[in-house]
Amino acid sequence: MAEGSHEVTEELTVSNRLGIHARPAAAIVQRVLAFDSEVYFNLNGNRVNAKSIMGLLTLAATRGSRLIVQCKGQDAEEAMHAVKELFTSGFGEE
């Protein structure tokens, strides 16, 4: 791995009622695109790139799903922080 590059991994729980459908997926993509880091979501052995709406949708993550979130890159910590914020806020949904 390149110098100054980090990798952080955390487990986050989907908290909004409808789970990760198109709108939350779009919100996630928009947020993580701001970072250079690669961001991956893992669920049930599937790993998708969090910078892809379609990828996120294939996870079919419902409320209560626990995702393993990996951020890799120089701004991995910041990216993870932003992703966490989204999860806690229920992606801006109820």
Q: Are 61 and 14 in contact (CB under 8 A)?
A: yes
CA quadruple 36, 42, 22, 25: dihedral sign: negative
In the complex with another protein, the residue whose CB is nearer, 68 or 88, is: 68
CA quadruple 18, 23, 25, 27: dihedral sign: negative
In the complex with another protein, the residue whose CB is nearer, 56 or 80, is: 56
**Shortest distance (Å) from residue 27 CB to another protein:** 14
Question: Does position 33 bind another protein by CB under 8 A?
Answer: yes
Binding site for another protein (CB under 8 A): 22, 33, 45-49, 51-55, 57-58, 60
